[in-house]
Chains A and B, each alone.
Chain A
């Protein structure tokens, strides 16, 4: 059964303090790993798709990386507006058109 585990559950950083969020996954053949950002009271917003180990994607202060067992979302010199919940999800060959979400990491950046 496909599974996604995110850690930590919550992370508080000072503005400018870089860190990483972890997404560990178990899937029977990875078709895609996704990162989303969710602001309070809103729907998740798509950030990245990664397909194979070694792949990296960047957007502003965010960089997502992928290995065969986990993905990291690196946040460089974060700003208060980066505060949000970050969700990781995977799609495997056995899950057809469905994707499985982790429970998210709640990131808070203090000015």
Chain B
């Protein structure tokens, strides 16, 4: 039981390049989330999904897109990376049958130069 996994762990992009971050969970959770964490700002919600085929905007969605084609996977895309997107990205999942406590992946450290 791996929990929540994220790939890649590290990535460096040049401004304007695109990439996709992959999140996978094996806990059969309905809900999945993408956050970014910046120093002094805590975790900020980018996008989330309440089930396969659904997505919704969070607090800071601009410049990102997501897809949830399979229940266990949640993809975060950057179409044209900007230096302001340099951050640590965390994926999380939670059950819809509990108190919604979230379980987090190990994070992806992204640097945009």
Contact = CB atoms under 8 A, between A and B. Distances in A.
A48 to B, nearest CB: 9
B74 interface: no
Given A32-B99, A97-B31, A104 B42 contact: yes
A99 interface: yes
Given A43-B107, A44-B43, A87-B43, A97 B100 contact: yes
Contacts of A42: 106-107
Interface band, chain B: 20 to 34
A105 to B, nearest CB: 11
A101 B101 CA distance: 12
**Most chain A C-beta atoms within 10 Å of own C-beta, residue among B43, B96, B107:** B43
Contacts of B94: 97
A43 B90 contact: yes
Interface in A53-111: 87, 89, 91, 96-99, 101-104
B42 A99 contact: no
A49 interface: yes
B42 A101 contact: yes
B23 to A, nearest CB: 11
Contacts of A96: 50
Given A49-B99, A97-B48, A43 B42 contact: no
Interface of A: 31-32, 34, 41-46, 49, 51, 87, 89, 91, 96-99, 101-104
Interface of B: 4, 31, 33, 40-45, 48, 50, 58, 90, 92, 94, 96, 99-107
Given A31-B99, A44-B90, 8 more contacts: A31-B100, A32-B101, A43-B106, A49-B99, A87-B43, A98-B45, A99-B102, A101-B44
11 contacts: A32-B100, A43-B90, A43-B104, A43-B105, A46-B101, A49-B101, A87-B42, A97-B96, A98-B33, A98-B58, A101-B43
